[in-house]
Structure 1
Amino acid sequence: MTARRLVGILGAAIWGTFGMMPAQASAAGGDPAPQDIRLGSAGALVDICTVEPTHDDYAASLGFCYGFFEGAVRYHQAVSGAGVNRHLVCAPEDTTRQQGVEVFIDYIQENPQYASEASVDAVFRALGARWPCKD
């Protein structure tokens, strides 16, 4: 399988999984519940990633948040490592997932004009601003 074909397949999988799901608020006043964890924007991802530890669905929300970041980063590694695309983010090797999430949350809170952007686009906008690549 060629690198370009792999990139196309992975891109379609990511788009189908995350890009087309609308954000929904739960009937209980907007707090996320497991069945409501869907993304329509970067702001929705910030909401999921910042659920209070005392919330009933904290573990599910945090798991979704970390899983989203893990998937996005792994996809980025696959497409940029294939030699087809350049790296968008050049974080130090010891950067943790938690650090990436914190950078994203801070960035969107400081740049609310990107809150309506697609979640994965905003993740890489934030991480790239913090850890740019020197091309």
Structure 2
Amino acid sequence: MRLIQEFMAALERMLEKPEIEARRKEIQTLYDKYVGPYTFYHTATVDEALDALAGVDEEHRIGKIEMLAELCYSEARMYSKPESDLLLDKAYKLFDYLEHNSGTFSFDRRNKMNFIMSQKVSI
């Protein structure tokens, strides 16, 4: 839980950076530090990402999936279509996975899912 709180604070700081290029570099660092290699997770499908995290114990796996979903959601704001749609689609699917498998309900997660749906991203 502490790791997720630390991650969320780092994500908030990254989003406050005014320059888009600085935010992109920072988000790559967040992927590498909290989830795994940016080069893999940025381009991986949801199934590939979940398969890669399959070897992690359940508690940490759910946390990493949550962090990956947040990274995709935040990163989508840094790109224009169609890249932003792809990232939002991935974020939605990861949030949906968490809805069904995390054992916790989150209003924040539900609001983000509703926002993504309102953007008419093909889910």
- Bigger relative contact order (CA 8 A; separation at least 6): 1
User: Do the structures match in fold with TM over 0.5?
Assistant: no
Query: Shorter-chain TM-score: which interval?
Result: 0.3 to 0.5
Structure label with greater radius of gyration: 1
Give the structure-2-normalised TM-score: 0.42
